[in-house]
Amino acid sequence: MSTIRGCVFDAYGTLFDVHSVTTMCREVTPDALALSATWRAKQLEYTWLRALMGTYEDFWSITDAALRFALKQHNIAIQPQQYTRLLEEYYRLAIYPEVAAALRSLQHYPLAILSNGSPRMIEAVIAHNNLQKVFTQVLSVDAVRTFKPKPEVYELAPTHLRVPKEDLLFVSSNTFDVIGAKAFGFQVAWINRTNATLDNLGWQPDVIIEHLDQLSQVVAL
């Protein structure tokens, strides 16, 4: 890997655990993991479909639509108050255990979040996890009204950080995001927490790690 002059992080699944919603899911179904998995899968699918169709809605609306689908798919009927609490768990997602310390160790670099999330969603989950002072930039796809892996989303990072894309390290746990970022021209680290298989589309990350705190061990930061 060449010189790195800044780090850009995906948010959901990379810094923040989307499946921390299972705690609330258990209040409405004994199969909380299945509900969470369907919710997340459909959430991502809706971003890709809307990006392809050019019919943008923000990530909060997509998260809402995906939850409605997941509940219907699993034949779960809940009260409006339960629904609101469940949806609003996206404001309170937990960070992975190593994230706060790992980010502190990288403070000598400009750090950015680049997320599909709407500004309100990202700001809320950052505040919930006391990370307000960590990031130089918090970038949302709202600025370009489409979703990853569209190149115009990734362009937000070098534009706002004022660092060439080839000098930025992009960090994500999501394989579609890893491939999209590499195709765009970033250096890329894949956090593979689940021993997943990378999609076979011709692009490879520069580094593969299991946890964020391993980043400094494998990359000259």
> How far is residue 133's CA from residue 68's CA, in Å, rounded to a whole number?
34
Alpha carbon 214 to its chain centroid, in Å, reads 19
**Cβ–Cβ under 8 Å, residues 161 and 127:** no
Q: Which residues contact 142 (CB under 8 A, 6 or more apart)?
A: 58, 118, 119
Query: Does 10 participate in catalysis according to the annotation?
Result: yes
Q: What are phi and psi of 215, to 5 degrees?
A: -60, -45
Q: Among residues 10, 17, 58, 177, which one is catalytic?
A: 10
83: left (phi over 0), alpha (psi -120 to 50) or beta: alpha
Alpha carbon 48 to its chain centroid, in Å, reads 14
Q: Which residues are catalytic?
A: 10
